[in-house]
């Protein structure tokens, strides 16, 4: 198992099929453009987990800071290939991200997940993440 940050355009393109399981509305070109813009303007990073030369799991992360808790790392996307679920890939990726967050001076790891993703929520809870807030939004 190898976990690395994705930094180049070819690597971003390679991530599109897996990310499209979670973000199906983005074409390959839209995905590459959005990731590059988010990397340049907001510190977004893609983290990939490979095994046997295949991309097995992927996360989109970014570091932020709030007054009430200080510096944190937010996982904006976390997806594992359907055939690769329950094989430890998500757990390994979460552990790598938590270590990366600590190394960056973060005091908390955060993740926002859609209400309909019940299986994902059970996984997050098994991995020690707790449900501590409600997230509200308003489409503009």
Tens of pLDDT, residue by residue over 88-122, are 898 899 999 999 999 999 998 887 765 566 566 66
What is the token pair recorded at 74? Answer: 């937010």
Residue 93 counted as domain residue: yes
Q: What is the pLDDT of residues 23-51, one digit of tens each?
A: 999 999 999 999 999 999 999 999 999 99
**Could you tell me the CATH number of the domain that includes residue 85?**
3.40.630.30
Domain contains 31: yes
101: tokens are 């967050």
Domain that holds residue 88: 2-126
Whether 137 is covered by a domain: the verdict is no
Burial (CB < 10 A; 0-12, 13-18, 19+), residue 69, is exposed
Residue 134 lies in a domain: no
Q: Kindly state whether residue 48 falls inside one of the protein's structural domains.
A: yes
Question: Is 139 part of a structural domain of the chain?
Answer: no
Q: Whole-prediction pTM value? A: 0.81
Pairing, β 45-51 against β 54-66: antiparallel
In a domain, 140, yes or no: no
Q: What is the pLDDT of residue 139?
A: 72
Our count of domains for the chain comes to 1
């Amino acid at each position: 198992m190898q976990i690395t940050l994705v930094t180049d355009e070819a690597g971003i393109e390679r991530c599109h099929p897996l990310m499209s399981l979670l973000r199906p509305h983005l074409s390959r070109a839209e995905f590459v453009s959005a990731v590059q813009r988010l990397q340049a303007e907001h510190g977004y990073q893609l983290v990939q987990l490979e095994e046997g030369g295949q991309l097995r799991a992927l996360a989109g992360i970014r570091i932020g800071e709030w007054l009430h808790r200080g510096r944190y790392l937010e996982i904006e996307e976390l997806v594992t290939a359907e055939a690769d679920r329950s094989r430890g890939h998500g757990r390994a990726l979460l552990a790598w991200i938590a270590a990366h967050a600590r190394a960056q001076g973060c005091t908390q790891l955060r993740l926002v997940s859609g209400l309909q993703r019940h299986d994902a929520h059970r996984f997050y809870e098994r991995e020690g993440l707790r449900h501590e807030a409600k997230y509200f939004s308003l489409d503009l």
